[in-house]
Amino acid sequence: MKKILTFVLAVLFLLALFSGCGQKPSTTPGGNATAAPATKAPENNTPSSTQAPEGETEPEPTEEGIFYHYAKGHVEVDEHGYTKELYEYTMPLTNSDEEFTYWGVVWTPQLLPEDGYNATPLPKAEREATGVHVEYVIIPSESRQQNYSVLLAADDLCDMMTGSLSFHPTTIEEAIEDGYYVNLWDYRDYCPDYIYWVTFDRKRDTNTYATVFRSPDLIGYFYTMQNATGKGTNYLARGDWLEKLGMTNDDVVTYEDLHDMLMAIKVNIDGCDFPWAMNSSIDIKDYATFTAYDTIPSVSSTALGPMYVIDGKVYFSHSTERDKAFMTRLNSWYNDGLVDPNWAAYASTSDMKDKAVNGKVGYMVMNISEVSDYEVGTPDPNCRWDPILRPVLRKGQTFHLGGQTSKLGYGNVAVSAKCANIPLAVTWCDWRYSLSGSDLISWGPEGVLWEYDDQGNRVATEFAFSEPQGVGLTWLQMFYAFNALAEHGIGDGNRSSLTPGYARMREISKYWAQWDYDGAYEYPTGAKLDQEQNEEVERYKNDLVTYIAENYLAFVDGSKPLSDWDTYVNGLMQHGFEQVVALYQDAYDNYINTMA
């Protein structure tokens, strides 16, 4: 879970890097100040918003006077059925008293009021804006898998389920075929804004498109999305220490430079005996740093990979001579005393914080949102963390791996096939991707975490930085605005402008972006296993994941000598590694053939 939280912090603050400060939106004809567009598509792809024609969006009321403001019939699509421009819903969406259930989670349960999450400002504001009654069913994070299994066994899923991608025992294709969830593509007339965000930039952002479209006519999930791409997590070093040593972060380019920096800190900075607080996974796939060896040395406790393709051949990390070369260097650095010997206990930056603020480490991975906190929290008034580039084997090297970007975040929502009114549920979900819906869920209601200053700019409220229980702004935004760890919607990166040090975060991100990347070896997201292939991989997966975690990581400290590398690789083969690689090779070849 800690790794998940670290990743999501990165996702949340990426949104800030390409946006300006939040400004007061204009009031819509309905008088709702939160309904004006704040979210923007990436530059050169700015969407226009089509307001539904007056008098045409409201179907004939039923005998009871119930109406539904659906998008169906009022959206222009291209030859593929993809939305041409964003649609702005007429509000409210309905005046019916139908109630939908939304299976979710909060990460700061101490903030829950006595009456539960549904009594908090955002659910209330959503109901007032849309007219749709959504009952959030909040499950403790540690109980989600168990609760999901109970609901599944009873065939009693909520109308909308967050995170089923992680909890369902089969693929989404099978879950749809078995009648648990709906194929959202079949309801595309009711979710035009989601379709727009997924498809408008599909030629460049192939990862988003290929992940959402499981096949050309199948969409299983509403994903959390962001209106900009980039990376907000990577390595930093104590810049004030480098200054004492006559160095700057610009001096650290190659692996040799990084070694020299770490050794200089170890030798010259009192109390910093092991300067590198390495993550327990060595590297994290989603913000991979150590990819100059043309592999991604990231170890997961739950998944195989990462995988990549060189000259049409599929490889998995942790298994090649390139991996051995990287591990040989890492082991030598460990033997030099550069790596904190307690590295295996550091699952997230929070595990390293005590050593970081007390001057025990000088090089560690960090999210840009954490930099200010780590600097202010240390007794050293001169503490400054400066960004460090991804190390290269040679100057001018082009990276082939570790740079994919995507609008997708971590959260996802599937709609139950047992939902009594699927069109309305899908429409409500889609509203969160509209300009007005995104604005409301991204910021939360006015007066809670933000307010307008005299110039009409959004600024943080006093409560945003003085919550009585000490909860930080990032986590408050995931409670009083939408929870990007689990829920669906597209986030407005402007909200990060409330964070102190916002301008510096932008500069750090720009510095990290200074690397030459072509993506030549990335495994295409669209090259998916079919159902039969997936079942075959599952036969070997758990044993291989366990074997890699227990053996590959043992090379770091030498508890397994590098002379045993070939024996280790033979062990992979005995656990079905060759069969797994062959299945992904078939999936890749099939994908390439269909794209030809």
What CATH number is given to the structural domain containing 77?
A: 3.40.190.10
In a domain, 544, yes or no: no
String of DSSP letters for 220-244: --EEEEESS----EEEEEEHHHHHH
How many domains are there within the chain? 1
Mean pLDDT, consecutive 10-residue segments, the chain of 596 residues? 41 38 36 32 42 46 83 96 96 96 96 97 98 97 94 97 91 93 98 96 82 91 81 90 98 98 98 95 86 94 89 96 98 98 89 91 88 86 96 96 81 97 98 97 96 93 92 90 92 79 85 91 87 90 94 96 97 97 95 77
Is 322 among the domain residues? no
Residue 9: what pLDDT?
Answer: 41
Position 455 in a domain: yes
Please report the pLDDT score of residue 250 as a whole number: 98
Q: From residue 279, give the alpha-carbon distance in Å to each of 11, 235, 264, 275, 331.
A: 18, 11, 21, 13, 15
55 occurs within a structural domain: yes
Domain-embedded: residue 308: no
**Model pLDDT, residue 265:** 98
pLDDT of the residue at 505 = 85
Within its chain, how far is the Cα of 31 from the centroid? 34
Q: What is the DSSP letter of 213?
A: E
Is 185 inside any structural domain?
A: yes
Report yes or no: 434 and 91 within 8 Å, Cβ to Cβ: no
State residue 27's pLDDT score.
30
pLDDT for residue 500: 75
Within a domain: 90: yes
In this prediction, residue 474 carries a pLDDT of: 82
Quote the domain boundaries for residue 412: 32-229+407-491
The two counts, helices (H) then strands (E), for the chain are 19, 18
Question: Is residue 259 situated within a structural domain?
Answer: no
List of residues 6+ apart from 578 with CB closer than 8 A? none
Straight-line distance from the first to the last Cα atom of the chain, in angstroms, rounded to the nearest whole number: 40
User: What three-state secondary structure class fits 54?
Assistant: coil
